[in-house]
Amino acid sequence: MRLIESLKKKKFILFNIFFTLYIAINLIGGERGLISYFDKKKILMELESKEEMLVSKLEDLNHKILLIKNNDLDFIDMLYREKFKYGTKEEIIIKLK
Query: For residues 45 and 82, what is the distance between their CA atoms, to the nearest angstrom?
Result: 36
Q: Which residues contact 83 (CB under 8 A, 6 or more apart)?
A: none
- pLDDT at site 57: 97
Query: For residues 32 and 37, what is the distance between their CA atoms, to the nearest angstrom?
Result: 7
- pLDDT at site 65: 92
Query: For residues 11 and 28, what is the distance between their CA atoms, to the nearest angstrom?
Result: 26
Query: For residues 11 and 18, what is the distance between their CA atoms, to the nearest angstrom?
Result: 10
> Buried b vs exposed e over 68-94: b needs ≥16 C-beta within 10 Å?
eeeeeeeeeeeeeeeeeeeeeeeeeee
* Residue 75 near residue 67 (C-beta atoms within 8 A): yes
- pLDDT at site 49: 98
Per-residue pLDDT in tens (0 to 9) along the chain, 97 residues? 787 777 777 888 888 899 999 988 888 887 888 889 999 999 999 999 999 999 999 999 999 999 999 988 888 888 888 788 777 778 777 777 7
